[in-house]
Amino acid sequence: MRSFPTNTLKSTNMLERLNEELKRRTLVVRIFPNAGSCLRLIRALAVEMHKTWIDATRYLNMDFLKEHCKQSADRVMAA
């Protein structure tokens, strides 16, 4: 049986993505003047990823659903 190298396997887990992004951005900064600056980078990245995730996982625009329900109710009342 063939063995796979464990260092090249990646997952699609959200935490893995966050860790990779943190690693990439900390390599750019290299030296943090204090712990607070490191925490600000982590918080900013977490907020950015959260907003991206919220926008990407919106499956149904609720305005369309409300309009559809209103039209259905109007048709029932007219009949």
Tens of pLDDT along 50-69? Answer: 888 777 766 666 788 888 88
pLDDT per residue over 25-38, tens digit each?
A: 888 888 889 999 98
pTM: 0.52
Q: What is the pLDDT of residue 40?
A: 93
CA distance 28 to 24: 7
Distance CA 4, CA 18 (A): 24
CB atoms < 10 A from the CB of 26, how many? 15
Sketch the domain layout of the chain as residue ranges.
Answer: 14-78
Residue 30's pLDDT is: 84
